[in-house]
């Protein structure tokens, strides 16, 4: 059974006072941006304009690193985070014979 660590994060509310309307009012807004995540297996066959890879946990099997890196056309649109800048790419010995 997998165990998950619960993390709490404080999201500050921003006060917005619009000046371009005739009626003065104040509203509170939380700075949240919509984001999507998917597994490497789910991304096969898809093309993305921007892609971020979280490689902090070496959880790859044969070929998954290639699939993850090849979803974006330009390398400048791919963002990778990895512990110490390194990750482990698992390749079967049979694939290296040639």
The DSSP annotation for 66-89 comes to: HHHHTTBSSGGGEEEE-GGG----
Query: Would the pLDDT of 57 be above 80?
Result: no
Mean pLDDT score, 5-30? 85
Stated pTM of the model: 0.50
Mean pLDDT score, 68-75? 83
Q: How far apart are CA 61 and CA 39, in angstroms?
A: 13
Higher pLDDT, 88 or 12: 12
Residue 46 is predicted with a pLDDT of 83
Q: For Cα atoms 8, 11, 12, give the angle at the middle one, nearest 5 degrees.
A: 145
Mean pLDDT, rounded, of the chain: 79
Query: Would the pLDDT of 82 be above 70?
Result: yes
């Amino acid at each position: 059974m997998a165990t998950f660590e619960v993390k709490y994060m404080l999201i500050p509310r921003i006060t917005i006072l619009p000046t371009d309307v005739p009626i003065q009012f104040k509203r509170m807004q939380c700075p949240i941006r919509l984001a999507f995540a998917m597994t490497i297996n789910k991304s096969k066959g898809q093309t993305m304009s921007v892609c971020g890879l979280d490689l902090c946990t070496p959880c790859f099997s044969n070929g998954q690193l290639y699939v993850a890196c090849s979803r974006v056309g330009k390398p400048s649109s791919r963002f990778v985070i990895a512990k110490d800048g390194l990750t482990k790419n698992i390749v079967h010995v049979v694939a290296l014979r040639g």
